[in-house]
């Protein structure tokens, strides 16, 4: 039996442990399967998004700067416009992080795995998304492992970035999550801003 129900507005509700939107996202307990996969990949236990951010910061020797973002050599669906300049990324969330790094407003445009366009205005104080029910996911490839003797930031991006996505709503995320070979979690896109702030502070 499905753990999903639908309210009178047609919105999907569930007790899915992958959904972090009902609590403090940084300190919410991650699902056991996510903890196991991410912990095995990173080489230490990761129980919350706060712990995950701490481990990524260790790989960069501190906060993440513009140089450490997942820049793309050609146009991608994930782009940021700041002060008239456009940046293309391999992962849409880097466009959100750019606002925190540069302390400037950033216009974000990305596409969901199904091709739905999601836009956002990211500022140093938060994010406004269109559609308003937009969702973001974080994840790690199942059975991911470092490419060499030690874990590198490149390894982390390769295992994690493909599962950092934006969706028009929670139902779209849940449909996608059931098809990928990865452990993922999701939360409202607007609630995910503290993750970007923690990565660059």
Q: Which domains does the chain have, with CATH numbers?
A: 32-200 (3.30.450.410)
More confident residue, 6 or 50: 50
Q: How much is the pLDDT for 47?
A: 94
More confident residue, 135 or 68: 135
Assess whether pLDDT exceeds 60 at residue 170.
yes
Q: Is 131 exposed, middle or buried (0-12, 13-18, 19+ CB in 10 A)?
A: middle
Which of 11-20, 53-62, 73-82, 174-183 has the lowest average pLDDT?
A: 11-20
Q: How much is the pLDDT for 21?
A: 82
Nearest to 101 by CA among 53, 144, 69: 69
Q: What is the pTM of this model?
A: 0.86
pLDDT digits (tens, 9 = 90+) for 153-166: 788 888 998 999 99
CA pair distance 33, 187, nearest whole angstrom: 17
Q: What is each CA distance from 102 to 65, 75, 98, 194, in whole angstroms?
A: 9, 22, 6, 15
pLDDT digits (tens, 9 = 90+) for 58-101: 876 777 788 888 888 899 999 999 999 999 998 888 888 899 88
Q: How much is the pLDDT for 100?
A: 87
Q: How much is the pLDDT for 199?
A: 75
């Amino acid at each position: 039996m499905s753990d999903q129900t639908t309210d009178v507005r047609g919105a999907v509700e569930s007790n899915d442990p992958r959904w972090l939107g009902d609590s403090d996202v940084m300190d919410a307990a991650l699902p056991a399967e996510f903890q196991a996969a991410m912990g095995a990949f990173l080489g230490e236990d990761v129980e919350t998004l706060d712990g995950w951010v701490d481990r990524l910061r260790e790989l960069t020797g501190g906060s993440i700067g513009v140089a450490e973002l997942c820049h793309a050599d050609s146009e991608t669906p994930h782009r940021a416009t700041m002060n008239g300049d456009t940046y293309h990324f391999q992962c849409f969330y880097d466009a959100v992080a750019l606002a925190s790094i540069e302390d400037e407003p950033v216009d974000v445009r990305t596409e969901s795995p199904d091709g739905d366009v999601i836009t956002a205005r990211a500022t140093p104080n938060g994010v406004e998304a269109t559609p308003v029910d937009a969702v973001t996911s974080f994840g790690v490839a199942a059975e991911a492992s470092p490419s060499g003797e030690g874990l590198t930031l490149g390894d982390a991006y390769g295992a994690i970035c493909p599962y950092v996505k934006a969706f028009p709503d929670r139902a779209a995320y849940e449909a996608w999550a059931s098809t990928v070979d990865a452990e993922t979690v999701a939360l409202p896109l607007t609630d995910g801003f503290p993750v970007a702030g923690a990565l660059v502070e």
